[in-house]
Amino acid sequence: MTGPRYPALIESLPETVPFVGPEVQERARGKKFRARLGANESVFGPSPFAVAAMQDEAAEIWKYADPSHAELKDALAVSLGCGPQNIVLGEGIDGLLGYTVRLLVAPGDAVVTSDGAYPTFNYHVAGYGGVLHKVPYRDDAEDLGALFAKAAEVDAKLVYLANPDNPMGSWHSGHAIEKALAHLPEGCVLALDEAYVEFAPHGAIPEIDIEDDRVIRFRTFSKGYGMAGARVGYAFGNARFIKAFDKIRNHFSMNRVAYAGALAALQDQDWLEEVQQLVAEAKAGIGRIAEANGLTPLPSATNFVAVDCGRDGAFARRVLAALAEEGVFVRMPFVAPQDRCIRISAGRAEDLAVLAEALPKALAAARG
């Protein structure tokens, strides 16, 4: 018996996942976290109308979802000011990034990202045999000029940029991105991840012609709309480019219950505005807790706050581990110098009360 005959590329890949889930950590600890503030989920949950729509649709789960996703694409087209032919739905931004890499990247093709940016993108590039080229952050933000210069240097097929950024919460102005596009090399596509767009300040979102085939933009119902577990994301851009996803996407990937919830969530902008206010209040609360403990909260255009622990990555990792021992789940950037920080998601008042109690203990443990 020889077993499965894996291709050489697959044999070379590590058996890993980009993130260790809090549930895995809870099983290892033998108890649940008291405050779940690490995955940038919305603890405030989805719109009550979305919950009701999903409950109503549960009885219809015996049916496949409409593989054309026409109703949700029509609704999104109105909000985006484009046509439904400019939109593709998928299993969160994660799934759509995988489809984009599959569509554009052959083994050996160059791809550019920031060192320390969203690791799931890198996971897909490695899985399809692309060659990753990384540039460092500059002033805790992804460096637009360096990204596009590197793309020109290595003849990249694809450049990844998150705006607002994860894990630092920083952002570029829309004007800066529009201006930088003049330096994107011929034949290269900008994958613009806008997962946190609902929390972005005024002026942060670029105005890009929907038919500009140099750019594909990604958004999600996971953050502002509070539906991370539903796995509903969408990409929008040039109609011919979007149509090409039909060559490779899983046409029956969409869960019809999640689909119904996303449609209802999109129609309840009052709930989104309430969540935006709750997130702003929570970020201010995280900032106060950090400062009370001698730490520095960084400006954030997302639903989390990167907190500078004032030392190096080793110290921040000790703080992270000590917080876990105190029952608080948070995460941190992986790459220096950003790994001097921990990243804390917006939480409810009761979550922040746990954080306020646990953080001084964690800092004492890390220092001791």
Give the model confidence (pLDDT) of 10-56 as tens digits.
999 988 777 888 999 999 889 999 999 999 999 999 999 999 999 99
Compute the radius of gyration of the chain from its Cα atoms. 21
The CA distance from 78 to 208, in Å, is 16
Share of the chain above pLDDT 70, in %: 100
Tell me the whole-structure pTM to 2 decimals: 0.96
- Which pLDDT score, from 0 to 100, does residue 1 have? 62
Lowest mean pLDDT among 6-20, 39-53, 225-239, 342-356: 6-20
- Which pLDDT score, from 0 to 100, does residue 2 have? 80
- Which pLDDT score, from 0 to 100, does residue 21 have? 87
- Which pLDDT score, from 0 to 100, does residue 17 have? 76
Per residue, the 3-state secondary structure of the chain, as one string, reads CCCCCCCHHHHHCCCCCCCCCHHHHHHHHCCCCCEECCCCCCCCCCCHHHHHHHHHHHHHCCCCCCCCCHHHHHHHHHHHCCCHHHEEEECHHHHHHHHHHHHHCCCCCEEEEECCCCHHHHHHHHHCCCEEEEECCECCECCHHHHHHHHHHHCCCEEEEECCCCCCCCCCCHHHHHHHHHHCCCCCEEEEECCCHHHCCCCCCCCCCCCCCCEEEEEECCCCCCCHHHCCEEEEECHHHHHHHHHCCCCCCCCHHHHHHHHHHHCCHHHHHHHHHHHHHHHHHHHHHHHHCCCEECCCCCCEEEEECCCCHHHHHHHHHHHHHCCEECECCCCCCHHHEEEEECCCHHHHHHHHHHHHHHHHHHHC
**Do 143 and 176 contact (CB within 8 A), yes or no?**
no
Give the model confidence (pLDDT) of 186-202 as tens digits.
999 999 999 999 999 99
* CATH class of the domain at 8-45+270-367: alpha beta
The CA distance from 236 to 239, in Å, is 8
Residue 228 burial by CB count (10 A; 0-12/13-18/19+): exposed, middle or buried?
middle
Identity of the amino acid at 290: A
Residues 6+ apart with CB under 8 A from 297: 283, 286, 287, 290, 291, 305, 306, 307, 308
- Which pLDDT score, from 0 to 100, does residue 3 have? 86
Neighbouring-strand partners of residue 191? 160, 216
**Do 320 and 342 contact (CB within 8 A), yes or no?**
yes
Does domain 62-268 match CATH 3.30.70.2190?
Answer: no
Give the model confidence (pLDDT) of 249-274 as tens digits.
999 989 999 999 999 999 999 999 99
Residues 6+ apart with CB under 8 A from 236: 76, 80, 82, 86, 87, 88, 210, 216, 217, 219, 242
Crossing angle of the two packed helices 256-266 and 48-57, in degrees rounded to 10: 150
> Cis omega before residue 119 (within 30°)?
no
The CA distance from 143 to 149, in Å, is 10
Give the model confidence (pLDDT) of 107-149 as tens digits.
999 999 999 999 999 999 999 999 999 999 999 999 999 999 9
Lowest mean pLDDT among 1-15, 93-107, 297-311: 1-15
How far from 170 is each of 6, 199, 305, 322, CA to CA, in Å?
Answer: 40, 11, 10, 26
Cα within 13 Å of Cα(355), Cβ side = 30
How far from 291 is each of 195, 287, 363, CA to CA, in Å?
Answer: 28, 6, 13
Domain boundaries, the chain: 8-45+270-367, 62-268
Kindly state the average pLDDT of the residues 352-363. Answer: 98
- Which pLDDT score, from 0 to 100, does residue 327 have? 97
Lowest mean pLDDT among 235-239, 253-257, 353-357: 253-257
Dihedral sign of CA atoms 119, 160, 266, 261 in order: negative
Instruction: Examine the pLDDT at 211 and tell me if it is beyond 90.
Output: yes
Kindly state the average pLDDT of the residues 288-315. Answer: 98
Query: Across the chain, what does the average pLDDT equal?
Result: 96
